[in-house]
Amino acid sequence: MTGSASDLQLQLARRIAEAIIDGTIQQGQHLRETELSSMFSVSRSPVRGALGLLLDVHLVEKQANRGFFVIAEKGACQAFVGQMPKTDDQRIKEQIAHDWFDGAITKEVSEGDVRKRYGLGRLTAQRILNSLSDEGIISRMPGYGWQFEPTLNSLEAHDDSYDFRMIIEPAGITHQSFEFDCAGAEAQRNRHETILQGKDEEWPSVDLFRLDADFHMFLANCSKNRFVIQAVQQQNRIRRLLEYNSLVSAGRLKASCLEHLDILASLKKGDRKRAANAMIIHLQKAKDAGPDFLP
> pLDDT tens digits, residue range 85-105?
666 777 888 888 888 877 888
CA 39 vs CA 1, 2, 28, 211, 215: distances in Å: 24, 23, 18, 12, 10
Q: What integer is the mean pLDDT of 75-83?
A: 82
Q: Tell me the pLDDT band of 133, cut-offs 50, 70 and 90.
A: confident
Residue 122 has pLDDT above 50, yes or no: yes
Residue pair 30/15 in contact by the 8 Å Cβ criterion = no
Residue 174 has pLDDT above 80, yes or no: yes
**What confidence score (pLDDT) does residue 10 get?**
84
DSSP secondary-structure letter at 42? -
Residue 37 has pLDDT above 60, yes or no: yes
Sequence-distant (6+) residues with CB within 8 A of 165 are 216, 232, 235, 283
Note the pTM of the prediction, 2 decimals. Answer: 0.67
Summary mean pLDDT of the chain: 85
CA 277 vs CA 185, 222, 263, 273, 284: distances in Å: 18, 17, 9, 6, 11
Q: What integer is the mean pLDDT of 64-86?
A: 84
Residue 295 has pLDDT above 50, yes or no: no
Residue 293 has pLDDT above 80, yes or no: no
Angle separating helix axes 7-22 and 33-40, nearest 10 degrees: 90
Q: Which of 118-127, 181-190, 264-273 holds the top average pLDDT?
A: 264-273
Backbone dihedral angles phi then psi of residue 146, each to the nearest 5 degrees: -130, 155
CA 262 vs CA 188, 195, 277, 279: distances in Å: 12, 15, 11, 9
The dihedral through the CA atoms of 219, 223, 224, 228 has a sign that is negative
β-bridge mates for residue 67, sequence order = 63
Q: Tell me the pLDDT band of 154, cut-offs 50, 70 and 90.
A: confident
The one-letter amino acid at 159: D
* Widest pairwise Cα distance in the chain: 57
**What confidence score (pLDDT) does residue 261 get?**
96
Q: Are strands 67-70 and 138-140 parallel, antiparallel or unpaired?
A: unpaired
Tens of pLDDT, residue by residue over 189-245, are 988 887 787 665 555 556 677 788 889 999 999 999 999 999 998 888 777 766 665
Residue pair 8/135 in contact by the 8 Å Cβ criterion = yes
**What confidence score (pLDDT) does residue 99 get?**
87
Q: How far apart are CA 293 and CA 295, in angstroms?
A: 7
Q: Tell me the pLDDT band of 247, cut-offs 50, 70 and 90.
A: very low
**What confidence score (pLDDT) does residue 294 get?**
47
Residue 16 has pLDDT above 50, yes or no: yes
For the beta carbon of residue 293, count every other beta carbon within 10 angstroms: 19
